[in-house]
Amino acid sequence: MPLPLYEKKEPKTKYIAVAAGKGGVGKSTLTAQLGFALKKLGFKVGLLDGDIYGPSLRKMLPEDKLPFQKDGKIMPALALGLKVLSLAHFRPDEKAAIVRAPIATGIISQFINDADWGDLDYLLIDFPPGTGDIPLTICQKIPLFGAVLITTPQAVSLLDVKKALLSFEEMGVPILGIVENLSYFEEASGVKSYPFGKKGGESLSLASGYPLLGEIPIDEEVSKASDLGKSLCDASFHGPAKSAIESIGKALIKEIEILNKNDLALKSFELEWKEM
């Protein structure tokens, strides 16, 4: 009798952390706009707001459909084809979440386990700032495929992102790459200035060995897109941040493919019974 074959089967949805260590460097903006960029490349994408104490993803996205309940499951909100869940969907705007860390991580677990995300390719998780209890527990509870780290070129941001990088390494989460935000400002004349310093992301990339996925300039189109809940991939945007985000999306997919090929993601493989 022929032996049954076990075949390695990769779980379809890849959970990807978007993290910084430091607050206010553009995590939520990158999560939202990277989601749109990946969608433009043809992928099915979901966004999970992991920032329970300062959920801002909802504000940055249009609301084509709010979350609802079906068959005991939470059906995520829809924003231009992206599926989205944030605590902000379930609480009034002005009310802060005053909960201890175990409750906060419980809410995130619920967003993963009790929601019907459907057949996604990528679920991007907007990580809370810091390397405290909540980000560490998310790493333990969610089988992350990898992490994208975002920093500004400034030393104080680099210091914090290095801590985040080390904590992901310690938790065994592969680092997919580094994104530098607020890299420079380009005037209409073409002259560039560097208010937050120069090439911090590149130096971190060289020192750590992780690829620099791209540099996003200071561009009023970014804040405009966020405030209006729009995608930078929309034809109404033409600025340098738009092309930076789109090329970061492509660079990220390239890194994911490399990681897949190298079989480094072995820990996330499942076995599937194959009848002979």
Ligand X SMILES: Nc1ncnc2c1ncn2[C@@H]1O[C@H](COP(=O)(O)OP(=O)(O)OP(=O)(O)O)[C@@H](O)[C@H]1O
Residue ranges for the known binding site for ATP are 21-28
Q: How far apart are CA 19 and CA 150, in angstroms?
A: 6
Sole binder of ligand X in the list 19, 36, 44, 51 (CB under 6 A): 51
Task: Confirm or reject binding of residue 226 to ligand X (CB under 6 A).
Answer: yes
Task: Confirm or reject binding of residue 20 to ligand X (CB under 6 A).
Answer: yes
Task: Confirm or reject binding of residue 54 to ligand X (CB under 6 A).
Answer: yes
Sole binder of ligand X in the list 69, 110, 223, 236 (CB under 6 A): 223
Sole binder of ligand X in the list 13, 131, 167, 181 (CB under 6 A): 181
Minimum gap (Å) between residue 153 Cβ and ligand X: 12
Minimum gap (Å) between residue 27 Cβ and Mg ion: 5
Q: CA–CA distance from 163 to each of 41, 216, 246 (Å)?
A: 32, 22, 27
251 binds, among Mg ion, ligand X, none (CB under 5 to 8 A by kind): none
Sole binder of ligand X in the list 35, 46, 50, 129 (CB under 6 A): 129
**Site for Mg ion, rule CB under 5 A:** 27-28, 56
Task: Confirm or reject binding of residue 124 to ligand X (CB under 6 A).
Answer: no
Residue ranges of the alpha helices (H) in 99-172? 101-113, 133-141, 155-170
Q: How far apart are CA 193 and CA 196, in angstroms?
A: 9
Sole binder of ligand X in the list 219, 230, 232, 265 (CB under 6 A): 219
| Contact between residue 122 and residue 16 where contact means Cβ atoms under 8 Å apart | yes
Task: Confirm or reject binding of residue 34 to ligand X (CB under 6 A).
Answer: no
Q: How far apart are CA 62 and CA 208, in angstroms?
A: 37
SS3 140: helix
Q: Label residues 224-262 b or e (16+ Cβ within 10 Å = b).
A: ebbeeebbbbeeebebbbbebbbebbebbbebbeebeee
Q: How far apart are CA 9 and CA 244, in angstroms?
A: 33
Sole binder of ligand X in the list 17, 21, 27, 249 (CB under 6 A): 27
Task: Confirm or reject binding of residue 131 to ligand X (CB under 6 A).
Answer: no
Task: Confirm or reject binding of residue 164 to ligand X (CB under 6 A).
Answer: no
126: nearest Cα among 17, 199, 14, 214: 17
Q: What's the maximum distance between 2 C-alpha atoms anywhere in the chain? A: 76
Stretch binding ligand X (CB under 6 A), from 40-48, 165-173, 212-220, 248-256: 212-220
Stretch binding ligand X (CB under 6 A), from 73-81, 97-105, 202-210, 214-222: 214-222
Q: Which residues bind ligand X (CB under 6 A)?
A: 20, 23-29, 51, 54, 56, 129, 181-182, 216, 218-219, 222-223, 226, 241
